[in-house]
Each structure stands twice: as structure tokens, then as C-alpha cells.
């Protein structure tokens, strides 16, 4: 039996979709009601693909960068987007501070030892 992916948003108005019928291909049982799709089903296709690569890379950001051909900041941004789409809050202030430290390091304003110390504090 061919199946389609669950739509998380209505293609007409963009509001959340709900599952109303479930079917077992083994015993042919049908259950009707209103069911919430899992959090991961609510991710869009690009986000699901990113999560798949991230998980198969065991969270190794360097490997994700290599496999997707994207930079470290892009990996972090996509990860933050997925985390937010799953309903969790992303601490942006810490990211901003980390970015400032890394920029200072790249400009030679601080040493790598100072950067490590600042990142750990």
C-alpha cells in the first residue's frame, strides 16, 4: 500500500492539520477520532531531512557541514530552527555572545586561549 507523508499544515490556509482516521494494514482495523501528529511530523521536509542527517551523523556538526555542504553557522541556524519548530526555546543571547567571541578570535583581537576561557564561562 502506497502512503503519503502526513501534512502538518493545511495547504489552503496554513493552519495545523489533525489526523482523524488511522488504519492498520495488517488486520484492517480503522480507528476514527482526532489525533495530534507527533512533533517530528510537524517539521517541514527540509527540517526532517536535516534531522535525519544530524542524527545519522550522531550530532557531529563537522560531518553535517560536510554532508550538506553548508557552513557551521548555517548548521547551527538550521538546528535552532528545528528546535523552535519542535516547540522549544532557543537561547539566542548565548549564541550572540559566542558569535562575538569567535569574531574577536578570527580578527586576532583575542588569543585562542582567551576565546576558550570566555566560551567556557
What is the model's pLDDT at position 2?
Answer: 67
Please check whether residues 64 and 51 belong to one and the same domain. yes
Element (H, E) at 93: helix 92-106
Please check whether residues 57 and 77 belong to one and the same domain. yes
Please check whether residues 53 and 84 belong to one and the same domain. yes
- Three cell numbers, residue 77: 541556524
Q: What DSSP character marks residue 12?
A: T
Please check whether residues 84 and 104 belong to one and the same domain. no
Please check whether residues 48 and 85 belong to one and the same domain. yes
Please check whether residues 85 and 97 belong to one and the same domain. no
User: Contact 39/86 with Cβ under 8 angstroms?
Assistant: yes
- pLDDT in single tens digits along all 121 residues of the chain: 667 777 777 889 988 888 889 899 999 999 999 887 788 888 888 999 999 999 999 999 999 999 999 988 889 999 999 999 998 988 766 667 888 888 888 888 889 999 888 888 7
What is the model's pLDDT at position 11?
Answer: 87
Please check whether residues 84 and 50 belong to one and the same domain. yes
Please check whether residues 69 and 106 belong to one and the same domain. no
In sequence order, which ranges of the chain are alpha helices (DSSP H)?
A: 45-56, 61-68, 72-85, 92-106, 112-120
Q: Give the separation between CA 102 and CA 73, rounded to whole angstroms.
A: 11
Please check whether residues 28 and 65 belong to one and the same domain. no
Instruction: Give the domain range for residue 113.
Output: 91-121
What is the model's pLDDT at position 93?
Answer: 61
pTM (global) more than 0.95: no
* Domain count within the chain: 3
- Sign of the C-alpha dihedral, residues 100, 101, 106, 107? positive
Please check whether residues 50 and 19 belong to one and the same domain. no
End-to-end Cα distance, the chain: 55
Amino acid at each position: 500500500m502506497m502512503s503519503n507523508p502526513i501534512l502538518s499544515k493545511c495547504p489552503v490556509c496554513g493552519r495545523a492539520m489533525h489526523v482523524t482516521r488511522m488504519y492498520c494494514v495488517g488486520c484492517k482495523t480503522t480507528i476514527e477520532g482526532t489525533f495530534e501528529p507527533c512533533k517530528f511530523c510537524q517539521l517541514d521536509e527540509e527540517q526532517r531531512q536535516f534531522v535525519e542527517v544530524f542524527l545519522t551523523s550522531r550530532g557531529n556538526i563537522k560531518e553535517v557541514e560536510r554532508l550538506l555542504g553548508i557552513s557551521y553557522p548555517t548548521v547551527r541556524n538550521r538546528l535552532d530552527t528545528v528546535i523552535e519548530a519542535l516547540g522549544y526555546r532557543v537561547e539566542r543571547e548565548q549564541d550572540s555572545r559566542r558569535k562575538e567571541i569567535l569574531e574577536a578570535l578570527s580578527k586576532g583581537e583575542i588569543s585562542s586561549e582567551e576565546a576558550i576561557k570566555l566560551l567556557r564561562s
